[in-house]
Amino acid sequence: MSYQVDLDTKFGWLRLHVAQALRAVGYGKGRCRLETSNYWYRLHRTSGNGEALIRWEYDRSHRPEKDKPPRHHAHAPVEIHIDGDMRMDLDKVHLPTGWVTIEEVIRFAITELGHRPPCGDEWPKVLAESEGKFFEDFTGKRLKQK
């Protein structure tokens, strides 16, 4: 699955590209559920060289016990000055993030980038419902009852 949308933000027009690779996993008698193998969420300029400003990625095949980088990670074309000439390039390292849902990326676009969602002021409710469905129907994690 892959989708992209242009966002009108306080930083100008940006493009959000979302992609996920899913697989069906069997459990129980003839039942299956979808499982995420990979996700790629990228925020780009709508013009220019196409380099992502921020990339959130997940790769199920990355296993910590195999000396691989964090499965859930982010990248950004930013260098951090360490000491002297030493710099850390955040586009080259795998900055650990934990699981990032698409709802969190959308929330970031609204609250931090200033994008106005098409659902208007209903966006917190819409995102909460979507997250609830994801956690209840597609993961082993369940929402805590209030």
Provide the phi-psi class of 52: left if phi over 0, else alpha when psi is between -120 and 50, else beta: beta
Q: Please give the residue that has the higher pLDDT: either 135 or 15.
A: 15
Res 35: pLDDT: 80
User: What does the pLDDT average to over 88-111?
Assistant: 94
Global pTM value:
0.83
> Who contacts 144 (Cβ-Cβ below 8 Å, separation ≥6)?
none
Res 129: pLDDT: 93
Judge contact between 45 and 53, C-beta under 8 A. yes
Res 46: pLDDT: 83
Question: Helix or strand or coil: residue 78?
Answer: coil
**Residue range 92-101, pLDDT digits in tens:** 999 999 889 9
| Predicted confidence (pLDDT) at residue 142 exceeds the cutoff of 60 | no
| Predicted confidence (pLDDT) at residue 66 exceeds the cutoff of 80 | no
HSE on the CB side for 48, CA within 13 Å? 11
Res 57: pLDDT: 95
